[in-house]
Amino acid sequence: MMKTPELKTNSLHCDSPDKIPLTKEHFDALSIRVYSRSDKDSKHSLLPHRRDFYKILMVTEGQGMLTVGASTYYIEEPMIIFLHPSDIISWKGLSSGQEGYNCLFSKSLLDKHPLLKMTIEKYHLFDGQKNIIRLRYSDVAALCTIFSSMQQEEMSGKRLNEDAMQTYLQLLLIQCARITDFKEPDHISDDYRHVHTFFSLLEREVMNVHYTHPISMKTAKEFAANLNVHPNYLNTLLKKHTGQNVSTHIRTRLLEEAKSLLLQTDWTLQDIGYCIGFAEQPNFSLFFKKNAGITPAEYRKKIRN
């Protein structure tokens, strides 16, 4: 097996084509999307935030380094990867040509199609144990046919095209469950384990916030203490693997959550600020304007209009 290349410390940044904000209009028409990887830039990415969609990534050509949680995989042959909304992932492209398909579908699709939900629960492809499957070239041909059919349905705009797409999605899951040639992680480093645990803690803190249950940890010192490491050591790890320190990641994540709450709730600015750690609403407004460029009230008005 080829030796796993070392990840460069300054090469990770958000991959905007895959990062769908938590706004309903992205899935208003259809709750499922399919696109060719050759149509998108395969940029480096680290997505340490809650996503409201599942993702299936099929790589048919191209090389790259994929990290899912604390496990790192060197991809140099056809693979299909199933990513749960809560997964923390990074991708480092190692070649210019990237071919294959990406499929994104929202959680709401499972509510509308109970059979699809049952299929996902039955085959456990998104549970982190069986989510990376090595493909033979005969498998690639069969799966490409399914992806292509899904893409044609999406582009057709015909009535019931979402129903047809989720039926193809079930077929895709069944076909992949038949293959199940799982690729073992090439490397699990202590560094990535700490990084993964930090982002898991950060996500756990933020994802359940409410104005009756505000965030309890929001400083580098508090997160480091929870991980039983020194704050300087945690900062060094985050800086090495993401290019940003602990405080920056916390600040960015709190800002993203504030934006989501401004868009998707009718909570007051006082309530939103309180739940992400600001006892006084003016302090929340100062934090938001400093990091977003406009006040939270202006942001809510601008986006909703």
pLDDT in tens, 166-214: 999 999 999 999 887 656 666 666 777 788 788 878 877 887 788 888 8
Q: How far apart are CA 235 and CA 245, in angstroms?
A: 5
Residues of the chain with pLDDT under 70: 1-29, 40-51, 69-70, 88, 128-129, 181-189
CATH code: domain 190-304 is 1.10.10.60
**Token pair of 164, please?**
């047809």
Nearest to 55 by CA among 136, 111, 109, 123: 109
Which of 2.40.340.10, 2.60.120.280, 3.40.50.720, 3.40.50.2000 would CATH assign to domain 24-179?
A: 2.60.120.280
| Rg (alpha carbons) of the chain, rounded to whole number | 20
Nearest to 196 by CA among 248, 247, 242: 242
What is the helix (H) or strand (E) element at residue 271, kind and residue range? helix 269-275
Residues of each domain in the chain carrying CATH 2.60.120.280: 24-179
Q: How far apart are CA 195 and CA 118, in angstroms?
A: 33
Tell me the residue ranges of DSSP E strands in the chain. Answer: 32-36, 45-46, 53-61, 64-68, 71-75, 79-83, 89-93, 99-106, 132-134
Residues of each domain in the chain carrying CATH 1.10.10.60: 190-304
Per-residue DSSP letter, 37: G
Check residue 271 and give its pLDDT: 93
**Token pair of 213, please?**
């249950």
pTM of the model: 0.56
Q: 91: buried, middle or exposed (CB in 10 Å: 19+, 13-18, 0-12)?
A: buried
What is the helix (H) or strand (E) element at residue 207, kind and residue range? helix 190-207
Check residue 80 and give its pLDDT: 95
